[in-house]
């Protein structure tokens, strides 16, 4: 990844901090998302992962610190502006528009996309059909949301974000609740999106997916960055084993590497 190292970062957080009353959910976090990389974001429940994503996407305002997209400060901008600038996200708790079809949901994503998206609904629907075709969901285009399985809903979330033509994609537990075949599908999809040049920040609990997809991994614990490195470095870091991975995971890794 030497080219990725030389290029300026796609996105950076500087001293990013978020208080909720007396709780510090994100505590002076610094990191850079390199152009074209997949950066994993892991840590125990309540570590501040989703809050960090909310701070980047403009859903939550930081108490202090900054988010930069290239040279541009995103701090304080509303979510729709952040999306227009090329940062799209999925939600841990899915929020599809009930009563609409799959393609209509994706079309709404397209209209909120970078560069303003297609001007009219017909163009947005055409864009939605392209994205659904690209991710292999075209047969479900006219299905009602209520008919979808969890795995299909997760792919719909991804499709909606992709319809925004992001340069940076934030994925919050897109594999949670998926069966093993769906997990394989979503991993393959993330690889294909990344191969198109999209930079990705990926919150994920499933270590197999983290190890298989990520170039580097950022670890949060009680809102603080406790590690940042390659998947192997992070998996072998005693502080990460202690806070999150646990002794059993470390031992099973040692055995499978032996």
Residues that bind ligand ADP (CB under 6 A): 20, 23, 25, 43, 45-51
Helical (H) or strand (E) element with 64: strand 64-69
Give the per-residue contact string, 56-95, with Mg ion (x = CB under 5 A; - = no). Answer: ------------------------------------x---
Nearer to Mg ion, 49 or 216 (CB): 49
Least distance to Mg ion, CB of residue 50, Å: 3
Q: Please state, in angstroms and rounded to a whole number, the distance separating the CA atoms of residues 237 and 252.
A: 15
CB of 43 to ligand ADP, least distance (A): 6
CB nearer to ligand ADP: give 123 or 228: 228
Asked whether position 105 contacts Mg ion by CB under 5 A, the answer is no
Q: Does 51 bind Mg ion (CB under 5 A)?
A: no
In terms of CB distance, is 50 or 194 closer to ligand ADP?
A: 50
State both tokens at 139: 């047969």
| Residue 100, number of CB atoms within 10 A of its CB | 14
Tell me which of 35, 50, 54, 105 binds Mg ion, using CB under 5 A.
Answer: 50
CB of 226 to ligand ADP, least distance (A): 13
Of the candidates 192, 229, 240, 236, the one whose C-alpha atom is nearest the C-alpha of residue 31 is: 229
Find where tokens 């609904």 sit. Answer: 121
| Partner whose binding site includes residue 41, from ligand ADP, Mg ion, none (CB under 5 to 8 Å by kind) | none
Q: Do the Cβ atoms of 145 and 185 come closer than 8 Å?
A: no
- E strand residue ranges, 58-189: 64-69, 72-73, 87-89, 168-172
Report the residue count for the chain.
Answer: 258
């Amino acid at each position: 990844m030497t080219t990725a190292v030389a290029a300026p970062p796609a996105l950076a957080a500087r001293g990013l901090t978020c208080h909720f009353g007396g709780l510090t959910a994100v505590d002076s976090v610094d990191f850079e998302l390199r152009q074209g990389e997949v950066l994993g974001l892991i840590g125990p429940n309540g570590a501040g992962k989703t809050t960090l994503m909310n701070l980047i996407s403009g859903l939550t305002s930081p108490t202090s610190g900054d988010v930069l997209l290239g040279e541009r400060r995103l701090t304080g901008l509303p979510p729709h502006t952040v999306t227009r600038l090329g940062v799209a996200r999925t939600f841990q708790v899915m929020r599809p528009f009930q009563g609409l079809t799959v393609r209509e949901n994706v079309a709404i994503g397209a209209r909120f996309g970078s560069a303003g998206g297609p001007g009219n609904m017909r163009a947005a629907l055409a864009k939605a059909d392209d994205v659904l075709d690209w991710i292999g969901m075209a047969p479900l285009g006219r299905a009602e949301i209520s008919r979808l399985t969890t795995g299909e809903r997760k792919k719909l979330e991804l499709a909606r974000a992709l319809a925004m033509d992001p340069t940076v994609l934030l994925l919050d537990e897109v594999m949670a609740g998926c069966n093993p075949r769906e997990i394989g599908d979503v991993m393959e999809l993330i690889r294909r999106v990344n191969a198109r040049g999209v930079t990705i920040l990926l919150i994920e609990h499933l270590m197999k997916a983290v190890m298989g997809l990520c170039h580097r991994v950022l670890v949060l614990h009680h809102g603080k960055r406790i590690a940042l490195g390659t998947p192997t470095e992070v998996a072998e870091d005693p502080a990460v084993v202690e806070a999150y991975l646990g002794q059993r995971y470390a031992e099973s890794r040692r055995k499978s590497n032996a």
